Amino acid sequence: MNFLSRMLFSRPLESTLNYRIPALLYADNPNWDLLANITPPRRSSWMAWVTVLGGLAASLAVIASTFPLLDRITGPDVARNE
């Protein structure tokens, strides 16, 4: 299946089913509480902030580590057409 047929057929079908299947399940059992398993929000702990900031630092380190490679690939001596 090529890209165009996936975009024209599969994606709209998937997005339609993603909304219809829960609606059909709820129609079978209207007493089902949709919010029964959702816990109320609470303050984030310091560990959550450490995890987020650590992930941000790691992703920036990966991006920064590609700069020497980009410099070698796109440097003026490489781009020169003689």
Average pLDDT over residues 49-66: 94
What would the DSSP string read from start to end of 29-74? Answer: -TT--TTTTPPPP-PPPHHHHHHHHHHHHHHHHHHHHTHHHHHHHH
Domain interval for residue 16:
1-33
* Same domain membership, residue 20 and residue 1: yes
Most confident of 16-20, 22-26, 49-53, 58-62: 58-62
* Sequence letter at residue 58: A
Angstrom distances, CA of residue 55 to CA of 48, 72, 77: 11, 27, 35
Average pLDDT over residues 8-31: 72
* Same domain membership, residue 55 and residue 26: no
* In-domain check, residue 38: no
Q: Which residue has the higher pLDDT, 33 or 4?
A: 4
Number of domains observed in the structure of the chain: 2
pLDDT-based confidence at residue 4 (cuts at 50, 70, 90): confident
pTM of the predicted model, to two decimals? Answer: 0.43
Q: Which residue has the higher pLDDT, 12 or 36?
A: 12
The four Cα atoms 49, 51, 53, 55 give a dihedral, to 10 degrees, of -160
* Same domain membership, residue 3 and residue 23: yes
